[in-house]
Amino acid sequence: MRRVAFVATLMLPAVAAAAPLTPKDFARGVEVFADDATPVHTLTLPLELYRGVTRTDLGDVRVFNKDEEPVPHAIRSLARADAERPAALVLPIFPLRGPPGARFDDLSLHVRRSDSGTIISFDAGGTLAPDATVQAYLIDASAAARPLRRLILDWAAPQAGFLARVSLEATEDLAHWRSVEPNASVAHLDYRGHSLDRRSIDLTDVRAKYLRLRWSSLEAPFVLEKVEADLVPTAGEPQRESLALDGQADSTAPGTYVFDLGGPIPVDRLEVELPQNNTLVRAEVQSAGAAEGPWKRRFAGELYRVTYEGEELTSGPIHVRPNTDRWWRLVVEEKGGGLGKGLPVLHTAWLPQQLLFVARGEGPFLLAFGSYAAGPDSFDAQSLVALVPGQKVETLDVQTASLGAARELGGAEALTPPPPPTPWKVWLLWGLLVGGVLLLGWMTVRLVRQLNAAGDGEGGASDAG
């Protein structure tokens, strides 16, 4: 019986490890309300989940039903493969000439177009006055198969530099125009040994055959040489989530500012808000999975916040490859005083991830997260949806379930691994070794005593003789 009890005691850790997970094995949870008529439910992962998990692969996430049974789930990005950005399209451009201050609607245009609508030649009607200059540019966008999201201008800039306000109008017939961007800023400046360029004009998914680029000044600020257009992806992206982080100065490294996301958020877009106006610096943005590094460079270039002729220009968004590094830092060259007073703010954005789960059992369901004991246990999204006949990932709604209030489940204990179990094999081995040494010593002492006793007996017999 003692041997059976000893073996059972040794098996207890293995039995405990094989026990199924329960909500108490997770630090926190959020109640999930779902419609029973839908077999597969979807929801967008909340920020609190990212900041509560212990694994970058979100392996410590589970969905439980009312009876605390785990149900099949999967996690996928909402960025679909067919939503990739098409290649930039080069658009033909034509200068519109006239006397300074001429009304654009009064310009007489002679245009010849192909059957597809593309302009093949263009000239202003009549004889141009000697003082006629470029007053605007006509941009032919008829070859764009999808709406325009952004224009990128390429110019021959004046040597002195410029900052100009431009407007953009659209038309289908070159006769009736509508405004699509009334007040955009473009610039080419030299400042404190740095070169500052702003060449892009963001649009709100504009669809038009022709565009007209104008400026507020009497003289053309640049000679336009090329225009490229970024087109809207074939499938629209979901709305990004965002988070602003205050920087903390690193006392051990001048010019270094650290930002903590709080969890493995899949960031793919950044914007640095500089603390003081008229600041232009060269800097790097780096990221790491741990506070001590190692650090990987995500961006290197110039960041600026400059006021020129009453117009404030700031650095635009920084696109980075999606990654789940929790820690970010800004490393600024101290040349020219660095950032001066104040601390930068890092604006982060990411495409949300979607959780899918099968409504097996009764609700309400529980989304649990944060556990040292849980490992990856999710399905591939396609495999999970295949469990339900007639369902396809492509046709799933973005969100069919709603989240309630978060609450504590296992708390901090669920995040902290228990002390390592007693290494019973090592102790058993040492016990056997020590026992063997003691047994050998006891046998040695006993043998010595027997030999001594035998020697005493032989000596006594000789004396008696």
pLDDT tens per residue, range 32-62: 998 767 788 899 999 999 999 999 999 999 9
- Both tokens of residue 113? 């177009």
Which whole number is the average pLDDT over 369-381?
87
Residues 20-54 as b or e (16 or more Cβ within 10 Å = b)? ebebebbbbbbebebeeeeebbbbbbbebbbbbbb
Clarify whether residues 394 and 279 are in a common domain: no
Is residue 432 situated within a structural domain? Answer: no
pLDDT value of position 101: 61
Is residue 131 situated within a structural domain? Answer: yes
pLDDT for 298 beyond 60 = yes
- Tally the domains of the chain: 3
Clarify whether residues 202 and 330 are in a common domain: no
Q: The CATH number of the domain where 118 resides is what? A: 2.60.120.260
Q: Which domain holds residue 278?
A: 241-350
- What stretches of 146-295 adopt beta strand conformation (E)? 148-156, 162-171, 177-191, 194-198, 200-206, 210-215, 223-231, 241-246, 248-249, 256-260, 267-273, 279-288
pLDDT value of position 241: 92
pLDDT value of position 82: 43
Average predicted confidence (pLDDT) for the chain: 82
Clarify whether residues 387 and 335 are in a common domain: no
Is residue 291 situated within a structural domain? Answer: yes
Length of the chain: 465
Domain stop point among 294, 326, 350: 350
pLDDT value of position 285: 97
pLDDT for 124 beyond 50 = yes
Is residue 421 situated within a structural domain? Answer: no
How far is Cα of residue 104 from the mean position of the Cα atoms in its chain?
45
Q: DSSP letter at 92?
A: -
> Using 50, 70 and 90 to split pLDDT, how confident is the model at 399?
confident
* Kind and range of the H or E run holding 413: helix 412-415
pLDDT for 103 beyond 80 = no
Is the entire prediction scored with pTM above 0.75? Answer: no
- Both tokens of residue 138? 């006509």
